[in-house]
Amino acid sequence: MPWNSRKLNDGRTIPEIAFGTWTLGNGQDPIDYVDNALDAGFSHLDTAQAYGNEKEVGIALRESGLAREDVFITTKFSGRDGLSIEQSIRNSLDNLGVKYVDLYLIHHPRLAQPDIPSAWAVMEKIQAEGLAKSIGVSNFEISDLTTLLASAKVKPAANQILLHPYVNVRQAPLVAFCKANDIVVEAYSALTPLTRQRGGPVDKPVNAIAARLDASPDQVLLAWARAKGAVLVTMSSKKERVEGYLKAGDIELTSDDVRDIDVAGALGVRLSARTVLRRVAGLTVLTTAAFGVCTYLGVEIF
C-alpha cells in the first residue's frame, strides 16, 4: 500500500513518512536536498532547533511554491542558546518563515526543565496559542511518558524514537506503551543496519526479502519499521534514493518477513541512545559535542 496519513490522538493527521534534515548542514546543499524531497512527493519535513538548518528548510519550502497547508512541518525544542521553550518556538517559526508548525517536540527528556510536568504545561500553552497544531516528545522512555501523562491536560501526539532491528528488543516495550496510550511512534534511523552496522545478522534476511520482492534493502527496512506501526523519518542527499523511499510505501512484508528480521536483529550488537547520553552526562542541552559523541559511537539521536 502507498504511504498514507496516520490519525493523531488530537484528531489531526500526520504523513507516514518524513524527510529529515539532521546532518544535512547549512547553506545551499540542504536547500537542494529538501527541494528534491518535496519534488519527489514528500509532504512531511522534520527538522529541529539543534540541526541548525531551519532557515534552509524554510527557504526550500518557499521556493517549492507549495501551499503551507500542503506540507506538514515538524521541529523540536533542543535547548539551544539558552532560549526557553516559548522563545525557541517563536525563533523556529521565524527561521522557517511560517506562522505555525504542525508538530512541535521536546527533543529529549533532559531538556524538560525544571521538570517534565512544568515543561509540558508550556507545550500545552504553545498549542493553545496556535503556534503548534500538535505537540509531542522525542527520545522519551516509558518512565518519562508516565510522569508526563500523570499531569498532562493534553496527551503527547507522538514520540519520536530510535527504531531499527538492532534495537527492536529494547524498544518493543516502549512501542507497546505508546500504542496503548494512543501516542504515535515516529522512527528515526531505521536504516542503521545499512548505514552504520552493515555486515550484521540483519543483512541476510533483508537481502533475501529484497531479492524476492524486487526491492532494495533500504526499502525493506522502511517497510519493517512501518510494520511496527511507526511513522518514518528518513533522509538522503540523493534524489533517486528519496524517490525509492517513497516507493517503499508499496511494499508489504509478510509476518514471516518481519519475524525473520526481528530474530536477526536480536542477534546484533545493540548500543542504546540512553547509554550514550550517560557518557555525555552533565550536558543539559543537546550540544554539538553531544551529537558528535553520539555519531562517533554509532548512535543517532535525532
182: left (phi over 0), alpha (psi -120 to 50) or beta: left
- 13 bridge partner residues: 7
245: amino acid identity, one letter:
Y
Angle at 145 between CA 195 and CA 259, to 5 degrees: 45
107 is in an annotated binding site: yes
Cα 101 from Cα 73, distance rounded (Å): 5
188 an active-site residue?
no
Q: Which of 51, 166, 188, 245 is catalytic?
A: 51
Angle at 165 between CA 105 and CA 110, to 5 degrees: 30
List helix spans (H) across 65-115. 85-96
Beta strands in the chain (DSSP E): 5-7, 13-15, 17-20, 44-46, 72-77, 101-106, 132-138, 158-162, 184-188, 231-234
Tell me which residue has cell 522512555. 141
Give the annotated binding-site residues for substrate.
107
Give the annotated binding-site residues.
107
The catalytic residues are 51
